[in-house]
Amino acid sequence: MTTLSAMVADARSRLAAAGLPDATIEARILIGGVLGLTATDVFVRGDREIGGPELEKIAEAIGRRLKREPVHRILGEREFHGMVLKLSPETLEPRPDTEILVDAILPYVRQIVASRGEARILDLGTGTGAIVLALLKECPQATGVGTDLSEAALQTARENAARLGLAGRFETIRSNWLEEVTGRFDIVVSNPPYIRTGVIAALEPEVREFDPLRALDGGPDGLDCYRAIAAGAGEVLAPGGMVGVEIGYDQRDSVTTIFQRVGFVLHQALRDFGDKDRVLLFAKAEPSH
């Protein structure tokens, strides 16, 4: 038998000794998550006794983290835009930078709802469903479709929608980008794979070994998925619609060129919390007379 504070201190020490830079935060999140405690509980209930099965669960979780498995993969869920999303091996772990895409596209969803009474959203490569479900949560009049090549990822997205009470406004399509998509959408969004194939081997183990390769690999130049999205987006985008994509920090010009070549104009560009290019919004170019 030991106490919560002693367990957190021991975990912090072991994680720090392994060279993990956020050992203090991770020890609290990991142990709190295993025990079902809030961050406040971990701080104020340090004298809580831990023993038996709880000790075993914490020991297993710390062991997995020492093998570089990410904290939220160990816990099986992650918070994103005010939602708790279930993760699975076939889904990318949603990152805070992707919330920038949600917040950037949200005003346009609301504008469309205000003018038409509804909005249809298409999320390409949906994974956990993070982007489209966040938009549906904020706009009760909107409906959404998530596509993914992985049926397991789509199952995870459907489970997340059900957990959030959004299943009635969300459906999934198994598709390689836009190949199986029909109909028109007011908003097309995506956080596609954009890492160059040759760089993946040098990524941190947390990403390289635990995020699905399909969700990382953007081809030799990291741009394959943008080409696929741009090539088909014009066919499914409703008049006055908007396309929003997350990009790598050095891809603004190249992704903009890809979309411009097929009749889009760059409407807005946003930077992330590290002041790097992260989100681009495109609209269809107005026909010249």
Q: Which residues are annotated as a binding site?
A: 125-129, 148, 177, 191-194
DSSP type of residue 243: E
Q: Which residues are annotated as a binding site for S-adenosyl-L-methionine?
A: 125-129, 148, 177, 191
Closest CA to 124 of 159, 172, 194: 172
Longest dimension (CA), the chain: 79
Collapse the DSSP code of 77 into the 3-class scheme (helix H, G, I; strand E, B; otherwise coil) and give the result.
strand
DSSP type of residue 217: B
Q: Which residues are annotated as a binding site for substrate?
A: 191-194
Which residues contact residue 178 at a Cβ distance below 8 angstroms, ignoring those fewer than 6 apart? Answer: 124, 147, 228, 229, 231, 232, 233, 235, 236
Asked if 1 and 50 touch (Cβ cutoff 8 Å), the reply is: yes
Bridge partners, 142 (sequence order): 119
DSSP type of residue 68: T
Closest CA to 60 of 90, 88, 92, 33: 33
